[in-house]
Amino acid sequence: MTISEFQPPHRLLLGPGPSPVEDRVLRAMSAPVLGHLDPVFLSCMTDVQHLLRYVFETQNRVTFPVSGTGSAGMEAALANLLEPDEEVIIGIHGFFGERMYEMATRLGARPIRVEAEWGRPLDDREIRAALDRSRARIVCVVHAETSTGVRQPLEPIASLVAEREGILIVDAVTSLGGQPVGVDRLGIGVCYSGSQKALSCPPGLAPITFSEVALEKVHRRKTAVPSWYFDVSLIERYWGNERSYHHTAPISLNYALREALRIVAEEGLEARWQRHEQNARALWAGLEAMGLRLFVPREYRLWTLTTICVPEGVDDARVRARLLEEFHIEIGGGLGPLRGKIWRVGVMGAGSTRRNVLLLLSALESVLRREGFRCGSGVSAAVEAYVA
Protein backbone atom coordinates (compact mmCIF):
# COMPACT_ATOMS: atom_id res chain seq x y z
CA MET A 1 0.00 0.00 0.00
CA THR A 2 1.33 3.43 -0.98
CA ILE A 3 0.07 6.58 0.70
CA SER A 4 1.30 9.95 -0.51
CA GLU A 5 3.12 12.37 1.78
CA PHE A 6 0.76 14.48 3.87
CA GLN A 7 1.06 18.15 2.91
CA PRO A 8 -1.43 20.32 4.80
CA PRO A 9 -2.24 23.76 3.36
CA HIS A 10 -1.18 26.99 4.98
CA ARG A 11 -4.08 28.52 6.91
CA LEU A 12 -4.35 31.73 8.87
CA LEU A 13 -5.71 30.41 12.16
CA LEU A 14 -8.00 33.09 13.58
CA GLY A 15 -10.42 30.81 15.35
CA PRO A 16 -10.70 29.84 19.03
CA GLY A 17 -7.54 27.72 18.79
CA PRO A 18 -5.06 26.56 17.81
CA SER A 19 -3.41 29.87 17.05
CA PRO A 20 -0.61 30.49 14.52
CA VAL A 21 2.74 28.95 15.49
CA GLU A 22 5.93 30.89 14.80
CA ASP A 23 8.66 29.32 12.64
CA ARG A 24 11.03 29.35 15.61
CA VAL A 25 8.69 27.05 17.50
CA LEU A 26 8.24 24.71 14.54
CA ARG A 27 12.02 24.49 14.11
CA ALA A 28 12.40 23.63 17.78
CA MET A 29 10.12 20.64 17.27
CA SER A 30 12.43 19.28 14.57
CA ALA A 31 15.40 19.00 16.95
CA PRO A 32 16.69 15.48 17.75
CA VAL A 33 14.48 13.51 20.13
CA LEU A 34 16.12 12.72 23.46
CA GLY A 35 15.16 10.28 26.18
CA HIS A 36 12.78 11.61 28.80
CA LEU A 37 15.48 11.20 31.49
CA ASP A 38 18.39 12.42 29.38
CA PRO A 39 20.30 15.12 31.33
CA VAL A 40 19.95 17.53 28.42
CA PHE A 41 16.18 17.06 28.29
CA LEU A 42 16.01 17.46 32.08
CA SER A 43 17.62 20.91 31.62
CA CYS A 44 14.91 21.69 29.04
CA MET A 45 12.30 20.77 31.67
CA THR A 46 13.91 23.14 34.15
CA ASP A 47 13.75 25.97 31.61
CA VAL A 48 10.08 25.22 30.86
CA GLN A 49 9.20 25.36 34.56
CA HIS A 50 11.08 28.62 35.09
CA LEU A 51 9.35 30.23 32.10
CA LEU A 52 5.92 28.93 33.09
CA ARG A 53 6.27 30.53 36.52
CA TYR A 54 6.96 33.81 34.77
CA VAL A 55 3.87 33.52 32.55
CA PHE A 56 1.58 32.38 35.39
CA GLU A 57 2.98 35.23 37.55
CA THR A 58 3.80 32.81 40.36
CA GLN A 59 6.59 31.38 42.48
CA ASN A 60 4.75 28.07 42.91
CA ARG A 61 7.19 25.19 43.22
CA VAL A 62 4.89 22.72 41.46
CA THR A 63 4.41 24.23 38.02
CA PHE A 64 4.70 22.08 34.89
CA PRO A 65 2.95 21.15 31.63
CA VAL A 66 0.52 18.23 31.86
CA SER A 67 1.06 15.84 28.95
CA GLY A 68 -2.33 16.41 27.32
CA THR A 69 -4.54 19.20 26.01
CA GLY A 70 -6.26 21.93 28.02
CA SER A 71 -9.02 19.52 29.03
CA ALA A 72 -6.31 17.31 30.56
CA GLY A 73 -5.30 20.30 32.67
CA MET A 74 -8.91 20.71 33.76
CA GLU A 75 -9.18 17.04 34.71
CA ALA A 76 -5.83 17.11 36.53
CA ALA A 77 -6.96 20.09 38.62
CA LEU A 78 -10.30 18.55 39.57
CA ALA A 79 -9.12 14.95 40.04
CA ASN A 80 -6.43 16.03 42.49
CA LEU A 81 -8.50 18.45 44.55
CA LEU A 82 -11.94 16.84 44.69
CA GLU A 83 -12.89 13.84 46.81
CA PRO A 84 -16.06 11.72 46.64
CA ASP A 85 -19.12 13.47 48.13
CA GLU A 86 -17.21 16.73 48.53
CA GLU A 87 -19.22 19.85 47.77
CA VAL A 88 -17.65 22.16 45.22
CA ILE A 89 -18.97 25.37 43.68
CA ILE A 90 -18.66 25.55 39.90
CA GLY A 91 -19.34 28.76 38.02
CA ILE A 92 -21.03 28.09 34.71
CA HIS A 93 -21.46 30.72 32.03
CA GLY A 94 -20.49 28.73 28.98
CA PHE A 95 -19.47 25.40 27.48
CA PHE A 96 -16.32 24.90 29.56
CA GLY A 97 -18.00 25.59 32.88
CA GLU A 98 -20.39 22.81 31.91
CA ARG A 99 -17.40 20.57 31.21
CA MET A 100 -16.04 21.28 34.68
CA TYR A 101 -19.42 20.32 36.13
CA GLU A 102 -19.49 17.05 34.21
CA MET A 103 -15.96 16.13 35.30
CA ALA A 104 -16.75 16.91 38.95
CA THR A 105 -19.85 14.73 38.75
CA ARG A 106 -17.90 11.82 37.26
CA LEU A 107 -15.35 12.14 40.07
CA GLY A 108 -18.13 11.57 42.58
CA ALA A 109 -18.08 15.10 43.99
CA ARG A 110 -21.24 17.10 44.67
CA PRO A 111 -21.01 20.14 42.40
CA ILE A 112 -23.12 23.20 43.17
CA ARG A 113 -23.99 25.21 40.08
CA VAL A 114 -23.71 28.99 40.07
CA GLU A 115 -24.85 30.12 36.65
CA ALA A 116 -24.92 33.20 34.46
CA GLU A 117 -26.36 33.76 31.03
CA TRP A 118 -23.96 32.72 28.27
CA GLY A 119 -22.21 35.92 27.18
CA ARG A 120 -22.23 37.44 30.68
CA PRO A 121 -19.90 36.96 33.67
CA LEU A 122 -20.77 35.31 36.97
CA ASP A 123 -22.12 37.47 39.79
CA ASP A 124 -19.77 37.20 42.77
CA ARG A 125 -22.76 37.78 45.10
CA GLU A 126 -24.15 34.45 43.95
CA ILE A 127 -20.82 32.80 44.67
CA ARG A 128 -20.98 34.24 48.19
CA ALA A 129 -24.53 32.94 48.64
CA ALA A 130 -23.47 29.47 47.50
CA LEU A 131 -20.57 29.50 49.96
CA ASP A 132 -22.91 30.59 52.76
CA ARG A 133 -25.41 27.79 52.20
CA SER A 134 -22.92 24.96 51.68
CA ARG A 135 -19.85 23.29 53.11
CA ALA A 136 -17.91 23.91 49.91
CA ARG A 137 -14.46 25.41 50.20
CA ILE A 138 -13.39 24.89 46.59
CA VAL A 139 -14.64 27.27 43.89
CA CYS A 140 -14.00 26.64 40.17
CA VAL A 141 -14.35 29.39 37.56
CA VAL A 142 -13.43 29.90 33.92
CA HIS A 143 -11.40 33.10 33.53
CA ALA A 144 -11.59 33.09 29.73
CA GLU A 145 -14.72 31.32 28.50
CA THR A 146 -13.69 30.15 25.05
CA SER A 147 -17.26 29.39 24.02
CA THR A 148 -18.52 32.95 24.56
CA GLY A 149 -15.53 35.34 24.67
CA VAL A 150 -16.30 36.43 28.24
CA ARG A 151 -13.54 37.51 30.62
CA GLN A 152 -14.60 36.66 34.16
CA PRO A 153 -13.37 39.24 36.73
CA LEU A 154 -11.39 37.16 39.24
CA GLU A 155 -10.60 39.64 42.00
CA PRO A 156 -14.00 39.62 43.83
CA ILE A 157 -14.26 35.83 43.70
CA ALA A 158 -10.65 35.36 44.83
CA SER A 159 -11.37 37.62 47.82
CA LEU A 160 -14.44 35.59 48.77
CA VAL A 161 -12.53 32.33 48.61
CA ALA A 162 -9.66 33.78 50.65
CA GLU A 163 -12.13 34.90 53.35
CA ARG A 164 -13.24 31.27 53.74
CA GLU A 165 -9.67 29.93 53.57
CA GLY A 166 -10.77 28.00 50.51
CA ILE A 167 -9.13 27.08 47.22
CA LEU A 168 -9.84 28.75 43.88
CA ILE A 169 -9.39 26.71 40.69
CA VAL A 170 -9.12 28.83 37.53
CA ASP A 171 -9.37 27.87 33.87
CA ALA A 172 -7.02 30.23 32.00
CA VAL A 173 -6.86 28.25 28.77
CA THR A 174 -7.59 31.23 26.51
CA SER A 175 -6.10 34.00 28.65
CA LEU A 176 -2.64 32.86 29.79
CA GLY A 177 -0.03 34.83 27.89
CA GLY A 178 -2.61 37.17 26.36
CA GLN A 179 -3.88 39.06 29.38
CA PRO A 180 -3.13 39.17 33.12
CA VAL A 181 -3.97 36.14 35.26
CA GLY A 182 -2.00 36.94 38.44
CA VAL A 183 -1.81 33.58 40.22
CA ASP A 184 0.15 34.77 43.27
CA ARG A 185 -1.39 38.23 43.36
CA LEU A 186 -4.89 36.74 43.59
CA GLY A 187 -3.98 33.71 45.66
CA ILE A 188 -5.24 31.22 43.07
CA GLY A 189 -4.92 27.63 44.31
CA VAL A 190 -4.73 25.83 40.95
CA CYS A 191 -4.57 27.41 37.51
CA TYR A 192 -4.31 25.57 34.21
CA SER A 193 -4.11 26.53 30.55
CA GLY A 194 -3.40 25.12 27.09
CA SER A 195 -0.32 25.38 24.91
CA GLN A 196 -2.22 26.19 21.70
CA LYS A 197 -3.91 29.51 22.51
CA ALA A 198 -2.14 32.76 23.43
CA LEU A 199 1.15 30.89 23.97
CA SER A 200 1.17 29.96 20.24
CA CYS A 201 2.52 26.47 20.68
CA PRO A 202 1.02 23.36 19.02
CA PRO A 203 -1.74 21.60 20.98
CA GLY A 204 -0.84 18.80 23.34
CA LEU A 205 0.38 20.33 26.61
CA ALA A 206 -1.57 21.90 29.48
CA PRO A 207 0.50 24.21 31.70
CA ILE A 208 -0.66 23.96 35.32
CA THR A 209 0.42 25.38 38.66
CA PHE A 210 -0.46 24.32 42.22
CA SER A 211 -0.10 26.49 45.31
CA GLU A 212 1.27 24.96 48.50
CA VAL A 213 -2.21 25.22 50.05
CA ALA A 214 -3.66 23.21 47.17
CA LEU A 215 -0.87 20.62 47.43
CA GLU A 216 -1.48 20.28 51.15
CA LYS A 217 -5.10 19.36 50.42
CA VAL A 218 -3.97 16.78 47.87
CA HIS A 219 -1.58 15.23 50.40
CA ARG A 220 -4.32 15.13 53.07
CA ARG A 221 -6.80 13.24 50.87
CA LYS A 222 -8.72 10.42 52.53
CA THR A 223 -8.92 8.61 49.19
CA ALA A 224 -6.39 8.10 46.43
CA VAL A 225 -6.43 10.49 43.49
CA PRO A 226 -8.74 8.62 41.06
CA SER A 227 -6.41 9.17 38.10
CA TRP A 228 -2.95 7.61 38.32
CA TYR A 229 -1.80 9.57 35.24
CA PHE A 230 -2.85 12.97 36.63
CA ASP A 231 -1.86 12.37 40.29
CA VAL A 232 0.27 15.43 41.05
CA SER A 233 1.92 13.72 44.04
CA LEU A 234 3.44 11.30 41.51
CA ILE A 235 4.06 13.74 38.67
CA GLU A 236 5.87 16.22 40.93
CA ARG A 237 8.58 13.61 41.52
CA TYR A 238 9.33 13.72 37.79
CA TRP A 239 9.10 17.48 37.44
CA GLY A 240 10.59 18.11 40.90
CA ASN A 241 14.12 17.65 42.22
CA GLU A 242 13.97 13.85 42.08
CA ARG A 243 13.39 13.72 38.31
CA SER A 244 12.18 10.13 38.79
CA TYR A 245 10.31 8.34 36.01
CA HIS A 246 6.55 8.83 35.82
CA HIS A 247 5.68 8.71 32.11
CA THR A 248 7.35 9.30 28.77
CA ALA A 249 6.97 13.03 28.25
CA PRO A 250 6.21 14.34 24.73
CA ILE A 251 9.78 15.45 24.10
CA SER A 252 9.29 17.49 20.92
CA LEU A 253 6.25 19.30 22.30
CA ASN A 254 8.28 20.36 25.33
CA TYR A 255 10.96 21.71 22.99
CA ALA A 256 8.20 23.69 21.28
CA LEU A 257 6.75 24.99 24.55
CA ARG A 258 10.18 26.07 25.74
CA GLU A 259 10.71 28.10 22.57
CA ALA A 260 7.19 29.56 22.65
CA LEU A 261 7.70 30.65 26.25
CA ARG A 262 11.10 32.14 25.34
CA ILE A 263 9.28 34.29 22.78
CA VAL A 264 6.84 35.44 25.48
CA ALA A 265 9.69 36.35 27.81
CA GLU A 266 11.58 38.22 25.10
CA GLU A 267 8.52 40.34 24.36
CA GLY A 268 7.69 40.79 28.05
CA LEU A 269 4.32 40.06 29.63
CA GLU A 270 3.21 43.68 29.92
CA ALA A 271 4.10 44.44 26.29
CA ARG A 272 2.35 41.26 25.19
CA TRP A 273 -0.82 42.15 27.10
CA GLN A 274 -0.73 45.64 25.58
CA ARG A 275 -0.40 44.20 22.06
CA HIS A 276 -3.37 41.90 22.57
CA GLU A 277 -5.51 44.71 23.96
CA GLN A 278 -4.60 47.11 21.12
CA ASN A 279 -5.37 44.59 18.40
CA ALA A 280 -8.60 43.50 20.08
CA ARG A 281 -9.86 47.08 20.35
CA ALA A 282 -9.02 47.75 16.70
CA LEU A 283 -10.87 44.59 15.70
CA TRP A 284 -13.92 45.59 17.74
CA ALA A 285 -13.93 49.04 16.14
CA GLY A 286 -13.78 47.53 12.68
CA LEU A 287 -16.50 44.96 13.30
CA GLU A 288 -18.87 47.52 14.80
CA ALA A 289 -18.22 49.93 11.91
CA MET A 290 -19.27 47.15 9.55
CA GLY A 291 -22.63 47.03 11.33
CA LEU A 292 -21.97 43.80 13.21
CA ARG A 293 -23.06 43.30 16.82
CA LEU A 294 -20.59 41.84 19.31
CA PHE A 295 -21.94 39.23 21.70
CA VAL A 296 -20.23 40.33 24.93
CA PRO A 297 -20.44 43.77 26.60
CA ARG A 298 -17.20 45.69 26.11
CA GLU A 299 -16.11 45.60 29.77
CA TYR A 300 -16.18 41.79 29.86
CA ARG A 301 -14.66 40.99 26.47
CA LEU A 302 -11.52 38.92 26.14
CA TRP A 303 -8.60 40.47 24.28
CA THR A 304 -7.76 37.06 22.85
CA LEU A 305 -11.18 35.97 21.56
CA THR A 306 -14.02 38.04 20.12
CA THR A 307 -17.54 36.73 19.53
CA ILE A 308 -19.73 38.19 16.78
CA CYS A 309 -23.49 37.75 16.45
CA VAL A 310 -24.34 36.21 13.08
CA PRO A 311 -26.59 38.77 11.33
CA GLU A 312 -30.14 37.75 10.50
CA GLY A 313 -30.35 36.26 7.01
CA VAL A 314 -26.65 35.41 6.86
CA ASP A 315 -25.60 31.76 6.66
CA ASP A 316 -23.09 31.08 9.45
CA ALA A 317 -21.46 27.98 7.93
CA ARG A 318 -21.28 29.42 4.41
CA VAL A 319 -19.45 32.53 5.61
CA ARG A 320 -16.89 30.43 7.48
CA ALA A 321 -16.48 28.10 4.51
CA ARG A 322 -15.89 31.01 2.12
CA LEU A 323 -13.32 32.56 4.42
CA LEU A 324 -11.50 29.22 4.52
CA GLU A 325 -11.75 28.36 0.83
CA GLU A 326 -11.15 31.80 -0.68
CA PHE A 327 -8.91 33.52 1.87
CA HIS A 328 -7.45 30.54 3.79
CA ILE A 329 -8.69 32.12 7.03
CA GLU A 330 -10.20 29.95 9.76
CA ILE A 331 -12.68 31.34 12.29
CA GLY A 332 -14.88 29.32 14.64
CA GLY A 333 -18.60 28.83 15.01
CA GLY A 334 -20.68 28.68 18.16
CA LEU A 335 -20.90 25.76 20.58
CA GLY A 336 -23.99 24.31 22.25
CA PRO A 337 -26.90 26.77 22.36
CA LEU A 338 -24.80 29.30 20.42
CA ARG A 339 -24.33 27.00 17.44
CA GLY A 340 -25.19 28.95 14.28
CA LYS A 341 -25.62 32.17 16.30
CA ILE A 342 -22.08 33.49 16.77
CA TRP A 343 -18.66 33.49 15.16
CA ARG A 344 -15.59 33.11 17.38
CA VAL A 345 -12.54 35.04 16.22
CA GLY A 346 -9.25 34.42 17.97
CA VAL A 347 -6.59 37.09 17.58
CA MET A 348 -4.04 35.73 20.00
CA GLY A 349 -0.40 34.87 20.43
CA ALA A 350 1.54 35.13 17.19
CA GLY A 351 -1.79 35.76 15.43
CA SER A 352 -2.43 38.99 17.31
CA THR A 353 -1.08 41.44 14.73
CA ARG A 354 -2.30 44.56 12.98
CA ARG A 355 -1.87 42.83 9.63
CA ASN A 356 -4.15 39.95 10.64
CA VAL A 357 -6.82 42.26 12.03
CA LEU A 358 -6.97 44.27 8.81
CA LEU A 359 -6.82 41.18 6.61
CA LEU A 360 -9.69 39.52 8.46
CA LEU A 361 -11.86 42.63 8.34
CA SER A 362 -11.28 43.00 4.59
CA ALA A 363 -12.02 39.33 3.88
CA LEU A 364 -15.09 39.26 6.11
CA GLU A 365 -16.46 42.39 4.48
CA SER A 366 -16.05 40.81 1.04
CA VAL A 367 -17.84 37.61 2.08
CA LEU A 368 -20.66 39.39 3.91
CA ARG A 369 -21.40 41.66 0.97
CA ARG A 370 -21.98 38.57 -1.17
CA GLU A 371 -24.35 37.34 1.51
CA GLY A 372 -26.39 40.50 0.97
CA PHE A 373 -25.28 42.15 4.21
CA ARG A 374 -24.63 45.87 3.82
CA CYS A 375 -21.29 46.70 5.47
CA GLY A 376 -19.54 49.85 6.49
CA SER A 377 -15.75 50.03 6.20
CA GLY A 378 -14.27 47.94 8.96
CA VAL A 379 -10.70 48.43 7.75
CA SER A 380 -10.95 52.24 7.91
CA ALA A 381 -12.37 52.14 11.44
CA ALA A 382 -9.65 49.76 12.61
CA VAL A 383 -6.91 51.95 11.13
CA GLU A 384 -8.37 54.95 12.94
CA ALA A 385 -8.40 52.95 16.17
CA TYR A 386 -4.70 52.18 15.78
CA VAL A 387 -3.75 55.83 15.41
CA ALA A 388 -6.09 57.12 18.14
Do strands 87-92 and 138-142 pair parallel, antiparallel, or not at all (unpaired)? Answer: parallel
Given the candidates 3.40.640.10, 3.40.50.2300, 1.20.210.10, 3.30.460.10, the CATH classification of the domain at 23-266 is 3.40.640.10
> Is there a shared CATH topology between the 23-266 domain and the 269-387 domain?
no
Do strands 87-92 and 144-145 pair parallel, antiparallel, or not at all (unpaired)? Answer: unpaired
Query: What's the rounded Cα separation, in Å, for the pair 104 and 85?
Result: 10
Give the relative orientation of helices 39-56 and 251-267 as an angle to the nearest 10 degrees. Answer: 40
Query: What's the rounded Cα separation, in Å, for the pair 137 and 143?
Result: 19
Whether residue 250 has a cis bond before it, omega within 30° of 0 = no
CA-based nearest residue to 188, from 317, 29, 63, 16: 63
Quote the pLDDT of residue 386. Answer: 97
| Contact predicate 151/301, CB 8 Å | yes
Domain ranges of the chain: 23-266, 269-387
Query: What's the rounded Cα separation, in Å, for the pair 125 and 118?
Result: 18
Quote the pLDDT of residue 275. Answer: 98
Query: What's the rounded Cα separation, in Å, for the pair 260 and 137?
Result: 35
Q: Give the CATH H-level superfamily of domain 269-387.
A: Aspartate Aminotransferase, domain 1 (3.90.1150.10)
Which residues are registered as beta bridge partners of 141?
A: 170
CB atoms within 10 A of CB 27: 12
Quote the pLDDT of residue 388. Answer: 80
Q: Return averaged pLDDT per consecutive 10 residues of the chain, 388 residues in all.
A: 94 98 98 96 98 98 97 98 98 98 98 98 98 97 98 98 97 98 98 98 98 98 97 95 93 98 98 98 98 98 98 96 98 97 98 98 97 93 94
